[in-house]
Amino acid sequence: MRELAGKRAVVTGGSRGIGAAIVRQFLDAGAEVLTTARSKTSTVPEGAAFVAADVRTRAGAEAVAEAAREALGGVDILVNNAGGARPFQHAWDIPDEEWQDQLDLNYLASVRLDALLTPGMRERRSGAVVHVSTAAVPTSAPPFLHYTAAKAALQNYSRGLALELAPFGVRVNAVSPGRTATPGGEATREQWASLAEGPGQDNTAPPLGRDGRPEDIADAVLFLVSDRASWLTGRNLTVDGGEFPVG
């Protein structure tokens, strides 16, 4: 079922993991897709347009917006997926520059791209935005406090933006993945395991008995941007196999 036929989508962080799975889902559903990462790799899904850009910066966001106008002619769907973190033993170990990097990557990148790409949606009185957050926000786990704090801000902002854009027919939702089997996630868990002290990893499988697959998250994103979710906005959909408490 090509339920996104005729739609034009931008997906950030689409060169691997969850982002690449979202791009593949959108292409299979009939959308034109532009994706972005800091550099192109062989794992960028075939059929997607690509622009190399660092969305942590204003210049990078502007480069994505310009590429979208040139490659797609406009944007109907925006998925702010780029994100990530490295763990620290304690909150007081996190330097200022790391806090700023986390805010730029996991929060302000979405704010900037939304500001650049949603005006066209408002004019057409149609569109869908999805912010990829994390199911770990309610835990505020110390090794990733900077990351979960930035994602908590993203969730709060997502709700507020949804209320502002709803009168224009533009829907805004968030998806919060739990532990998902991706190259980036595995690298982060290895960094966590290498910490000399501090809280250890919980390697217990989620209640559903396995880690998530990138396609599990992509399925949720596809649903939220499709007409099947036409009466959903301002919501945060947790996709974690029951791993985290709802908060």
> 36 and 64 in contact (C-beta within 8 Å)?
yes
Number of domains comprising the chain: 1
Q: Token digits for 209?
A: 């008995």
Domain boundaries, position 172: 8-239
- Give the pLDDT band (50/70/90) at residue 98: very high
Cα-only R_g, the chain: 17
Q: Can you give the CATH number for the domain in which 184 is found?
A: 3.40.50.720
Say how many CA atoms lie within 13 Å of 207 toward its Cβ.
7
Residue 98 lies in a domain: yes
Q: Which one-letter amino acid corresponds to residue 6?
A: G
**Residues belonging to the active site:** 147
Domain-embedded: residue 151: yes
In this structure, is residue 245 part of a structural domain?
no
In-domain check, residue 247: no
Task: Tell me what pLDDT residue 193 has.
Answer: 62
> pLDDT by residue (tens digit) across 15-33?
999 999 999 999 999 999 9
